[in-house]
Amino acid sequence: MNPTSWIWPVALAPIIGSFLGAVATRIETPRSIVFGRSCCDSCGATLAPYELVPVASWLASRGRCRRCSQPIGLFYPFIELAAVVVAIWAVTVYSGWLVWVSCVLGWTLLALAVIDYKHFLLPDFLTLPLIPFGLVVTWANDPSAVLDHVIGTAVGFGFVIVIREVYRRLRGREGMGLGDAKLLAASGAFVSWQALPSVVLIASLTALALALSRNVQGASISLGDRMPFGTFLCLATWIVWLYGPLMVG
């Protein structure tokens, strides 16, 4: 493996992860993502630059604010390390310019997965740019496949819209958000319409596995409980992008 194809993505991953953490925690006040200063969630003290070093600053402070001594929590080192895992995972599958494409896709999906899990929200400023990005990547990599990916975008969006309408008619309330439709459209832009069934199947099975594990642990879950399905769509899209659709036989 050519070191130049993986050193920079892996080296930058913790910094990207730190930024993704800020996006996920400030999603309800988007302007603060760009203009806000990093501060302690407990006492509001502005963090110094040396307190923003990914993972290392958390370890050095033993996971506590230096001023008020309140726990910072595992979220920030988790998402920083997760961004590193995404980069390492990408370079084990792709090479050349597709490493960067995979990292950008993976980091964006990571942010969306965390945001949906925490807030039941898939923000447009993360989902919508993935659609033209996926189509441009397809055109650059294999122009003959662009039509399949355009169809995938339309099918992904339309599939969720149909499911939403059917659920609304049966249950009298919304079952899936439009964010899921935009995310599945973006998935179709990257993996094509032929791979969308695999994305939906993997997402559904992982969501079901989580629900069953919670029941085993004693947490009662009913059909009316909310489930961050976008989180599982993100995981499924990432897996299918890396390894292709499920094969039968």
If you average pLDDT over every residue of the chain, what do you get? 86
Nearest to 179 by CA among 248, 115, 90: 115
Segments forming the whole domain that contains residue 107 = 1-119
Residues 129 and 243 reside in one and the same domain: yes
Give the mean pLDDT of 48-54: 71
pTM of the model: 0.89
Backbone angles phi, psi at 143, to 5 degrees: -55, -30
Rounded to the nearest angstrom, the gap between the alpha carbon of residue 246 and the centroid of all alpha carbons in its chain is 21
**Residue that terminates a domain, selected from 119, 154, 184:** 119
Structural element, H or E, at residue 133: helix 130-141
Domain count, the chain: 2
pLDDT at residue 178 greater than cutoff 80: yes
Q: Which of 12-16, 64-68, 135-139, 217-221 has the lowest mean pLDDT?
A: 217-221
pLDDT at residue 7 greater than cutoff 80: yes
Residues 195 and 73 reside in one and the same domain: no
Residues 70 and 171 reside in one and the same domain: no
**Residue that terminates a domain, selected from 87, 119, 151:** 119
pLDDT at residue 231 greater than cutoff 90: yes
Residues 141 and 109 reside in one and the same domain: no
Please tell me which of 29-33, 139-143, 177-181, 245-249 the model is most confident about, judged by mean pLDDT: 139-143
Residues 89 and 204 reside in one and the same domain: no
Task: Please check whether residue 74 is in contact with residue 63, taking contact to mean a CB–CB distance below 8 angstroms.
Answer: yes
How many Å apart are CA 68 and CA 71, to the nearest integer?
9
Residues 38 and 51 reside in one and the same domain: yes
